[in-house]
Amino acid sequence: MAGEQRHHGRMGNDQEQGYPLKRQLPYPYNQDLSRVLRGLKRRNPITRRNKHANDPVTASYLYAAIQLIQRHLGPGAIRRPGAAGDPDTVERPLLGFLSQRAVAAEVKHNPPPFHRVGRVRTLRDRWEPHSRFIADLLRFGLWPWHYPAAHLHEAADAEDEMLHGPDPVRGLHRLCFWALTRMLDTPIFRLGLIAAAEAEGDPVIGEVISGRYRKNSPFWKQFYLEFLHTRGLRLRPGITLDECADLLAAVADGVAIRALADPASPVIDRARRRCLLGTAALAVIAGCVERADSTGGVSLEDAVRDMIGEPAAAVGVKEA
């Protein structure tokens, strides 16, 4: 960090002289932000944009906004409890688009046979305060039997190919492609991201998210066990099934976030129906699994040590 403060985005001497207060601001607010803040009004030439970008007043607004983000999203997010500390009534600002008025107005667009007359009064009759509706919506939306349980049959062919087919690698790629694209094609995944951002300090959201993982994990662990058994494999010493399940779940979430945030990234190859999650799953298998009939099982750490061997300098590689 110290190196960044000295070199990254450092203002020129003329700018520093013009803004003595700017130099007193903490890092990174004391840096040259003229190439960072590109949305400022441009009523005059670039010099005016530079002036506004490096105005301490501009930095003050940026700092205030960052404090709001931390206050609402964390770390150390502040949750404002509702009636008598009821966790269902905790304020959840990121879900502000689900206001009572907005939800009531949306009811009229429901397809048959759903009710199509929405009133705020009716919503309040069922959930008061509104934060209790949000809590129940999260419970329902992230309920494992809402998603993904209702869609698991779609991956049955890919699972069967992994377990019994002639090309288990192809089956793995098919399964991972299905899992990733399914995540991205459902709004529930996006709801989960918002919920995760607000989970700290909110027992309702924390329980919903942890409950979802608790319900989903046994299914995947059972599938992993069946895969190991049918293919004559076992986990390396020191590796547990829980660790593999958690690792693959975390990788799946991370790859999905990357694909969602950066659609142009080469995370998904829809033409070949492959994705980076499949590559990651293969890497986990290659690193954490060995043949069940092999003698003297080798731990993951020892396998890596054997692969790396001696430092390059010890085998005659010249130093730069």
Q: What predicted TM-score, i.e. pTM, was given to this entire model?
A: 0.74
Residue intervals of the chain classified under CATH 1.10.357 are 144-308
Angle, helices 156-164 vs 203-230, to 10°: value is 40
> Token pair for residue 283?
């890497």
Q: What angle do CA 295, 298, 299 make, to 5 degrees?
A: 150
What's the CATH class of domain 144-308? mainly alpha
Highest mean pLDDT among 77-81, 111-115, 151-155, 197-201: 111-115
Is 198:94 a contact under the CB 8 Å cutoff?
yes
Report pLDDT for 82. 64
- Per-residue pLDDT, averaged over 138-144, amounts to 78
- DSSP bridge partners of 291: 233
For residue 64 the two structure tokens come to 């205030």
Least confident of 39-53, 129-143, 183-197, 272-286: 39-53
> Which has the higher per-residue pLDDT, 195 or 316?
195
- Work out whether strand 268-269 and strand 233-235 pair parallel, antiparallel, or are unpaired: unpaired
List of E strands, 18-58: none
Confidence (pLDDT) at 69: 65
More confident residue, 264 or 199: 264
Give the pLDDT confidence of 166-217 residue by residue, as tens digits.
999 999 999 999 999 998 888 888 888 888 877 777 788 888 888 888 888 8
Q: What average pLDDT does this structure show over 104-133?
A: 86
